[in-house]
Chain A
């Protein structure tokens, strides 16, 4: 392969993985922005999304024979809705009563929710890897030097489409504007007649739905799901959110794509195997924390914990 072939191939891979990171990172960032909580359970919401997708997909398995994509899209939408509601439920039951408590209490609550989710799924699946059967073919085709499969192209397009929809939501709708305003100044938002709890619930819905979408996409991409699948991507997505500037939604997308590209290109460094790609990610995180702790799009703030 020539340099350009490798370059383009890695560029595509990096964007695809990066868009998964980005979709999950958005949830971390949105929740941090609005209630200053690092939602440890977010990675498990992603994992739950993959499993809800698996269930809904198997329900449609016999309904859409011959058109696998229709089944996947339908299962994606239903799962996003269900997992979004799960996110709202978690927020209502676990986090809302803790909002006035010291910051550490709500953080510990988030850890507990995380454990609850992944242990539940572990019990239900007996810790087994579950095949994610989609009925899609994995025939590859070439665009110039780039070797692609239909699946990978559709996944990338879908991920980017979701990010664009989210961006329109936060910049064009009143709810999106209220979300940004709350992350700037919560008390004043109340004086504008904004029901803060309602906006927090919407934030959890959107973040969880996007994580579910990413979970299903990962299922489609890797062909298998597992109760622990959220762990590493959770760390990576959190890294993306920090790199982009936590609390800033476009930053999360940017950080995700950047991290995906970094990992993908790091596999091409001579004498360094692909097993080292996680090391690159976290070194990158450490460098950011050292030299630009506010992230790419973040601005220095006097009060931040």
Chain B
């Protein structure tokens, strides 16, 4: 039994009067890749935003390594080791690639360590090294996604949460990005992955949860979910 790193207990989140999450429960265990699936508007992104505290939960608890983080400030949650790569990559387009990566390690005071981590990111993404002086906005979509993941890795997180990393990318790039995520996971980082591309997500995930209008309607091992007829119908586009 490996330990639970991230746990949501009856979490509700509202935008004004509208419920985006209606009391969801799930766990992510150490070393896992967990996929969060669902259609547009099901509450996948809201789940990540609630964990990272960008949007406060209106009820329920978020626990990280058994400690409640529901009402922590977003920056404290990053310092604890939970990092959220938002939908649409959200890199700083008017800052250089290097500056983007440096900001990823903002919480770090040690410049030597910062450079060591940057070299590690450059090893993983050689293209970022080649283009480190360019503005982030000049990168292609795939490169921007690499920068967003690289920037997140600068914090050396315990949990990496990715929101639609494959969005808008060509199939070959989706494969590359998924391969990178698997590598990062192999190196010991727990991954919580939000995807519309359920096929790609379930291929590498250990377990999955399916969200529908703010509720978890199905959960299980990825291999089981990918065989499930209703999922195949709803999200795998068969």
Q: Which residues of A contact B (CB under 8 A)?
A: 174, 177-178, 180-181, 184-185, 187-196
Is A177 a contact of B102 with CB atoms below 8 Å?
yes
Q: Which residues of A contact B84 (CB under 8 A)?
A: 191
- A189 to B107 alpha-carbon distance, docked (Å): 11
Q: Which residues of B contact A177 (CB under 8 A)?
A: 95, 99, 102-103
B151, CB-defined interface residue at 8 Å: yes
B75, CB-defined interface residue at 8 Å: yes
In the complex, identify which listed stretch (B23-31, B34-42, B85-93, B189-197) lies at the interface while the others stay far away. B85-93
Contact with A along B98-133 (1 / 0, CB 8 A): 010011101100000000000000000000000000
Instruction: Give B159 Cβ to nearest chain A Cβ, in Å.
Output: 13
Is A190 a contact of B75 with CB atoms below 8 Å?
yes
B54, CB-defined interface residue at 8 Å: yes
| A-B interface contact total, Cβ < 8 Å | 62
Quick one: closest A residue to B154, CB to CB?
A192
Given contacts A184-B94, A191-B86, A174 and B75 within 8 Å (CB-CB)? no
Is B78 a contact of A192 with CB atoms below 8 Å?
yes
Is A180 a contact of B78 with CB atoms below 8 Å?
no
Is A188 a contact of B92 with CB atoms below 8 Å?
yes
- A191 to B107 alpha-carbon distance, docked (Å): 11
Given contacts A174-B102, A184-B94, A185-B92, A190 and B155 within 8 Å (CB-CB)? no
B186, CB-defined interface residue at 8 Å: no
Quick one: closest B residue to A183, CB to CB?
B94
Is A191 a contact of B106 with CB atoms below 8 Å?
no
Some 25 contacts from A to B, beta carbons below 8 A apart, are A174-B106, A177-B95, A177-B102, A178-B103, A180-B94, A180-B95, A181-B95, A184-B92, A184-B93, A184-B94, A188-B86, A188-B92, A189-B103, A190-B54, A190-B74, A191-B52, A191-B54, A191-B78, A192-B106, A192-B151, A193-B75, A193-B106, A194-B103, A194-B106, A195-B75
Instruction: Give B86 Cβ to nearest chain A Cβ, in Å.
Output: 6
Quick one: closest A residue to B98, CB to CB?
A177
Is B90 a contact of A185 with CB atoms below 8 Å?
yes
B73, CB-defined interface residue at 8 Å: yes
Is B107 a contact of A193 with CB atoms below 8 Å?
yes
Instruction: Give B56 Cβ to nearest chain A Cβ, in Å.
Output: 12
Q: Which residues of A contact B90 (CB under 8 A)?
A: 185, 187-188, 191
19 new A-B contacts at CB < 8 Å, known A184-B93, A191-B78: A174-B102, A177-B99, A180-B92, A180-B94, A181-B92, A184-B92, A189-B103, A190-B52, A190-B73, A190-B74, A190-B75, A191-B52, A193-B75, A193-B78, A193-B79, A193-B107, A193-B155, A194-B75, A196-B75
B83, CB-defined interface residue at 8 Å: yes
- A57 to B131 alpha-carbon distance, docked (Å): 51
Interface of A is mostly: helix
Instruction: Give B108 Cβ to nearest chain A Cβ, in Å.
Output: 9
Is A195 a contact of B86 with CB atoms below 8 Å?
no
Instruction: Give B215 Cβ to nearest chain A Cβ, in Å.
Output: 26
Instruction: Give B139 Cβ to nearest chain A Cβ, in Å.
Output: 15
Q: Which residues of B contact A181 (CB under 8 A)?
A: 92, 95, 99, 103
Quick one: closest A residue to B148, CB to CB?
A188
Instruction: Give B175 Cβ to nearest chain A Cβ, in Å.
Output: 26
Q: Which residues of B contact A180 (CB under 8 A)?
A: 92, 94-95
Instruction: Give B144 Cβ to nearest chain A Cβ, in Å.
Output: 12
Q: Which residues of A contact B151 (CB under 8 A)?
A: 192
Q: Which residues of A contact B102 (CB under 8 A)?
A: 174, 177
- A194 to B74 alpha-carbon distance, docked (Å): 8
Instruction: Give A296 Cβ to nearest chain B Cβ, in Å.
Output: 16
Contact with A along B151-179 (1 / 0, CB 8 A): 10001000000000000000000000000
- A191 to B104 alpha-carbon distance, docked (Å): 9
Instruction: Give B61 Cβ to nearest chain A Cβ, in Å.
Output: 21
- A190 to B53 alpha-carbon distance, docked (Å): 9
- A185 to B84 alpha-carbon distance, docked (Å): 15
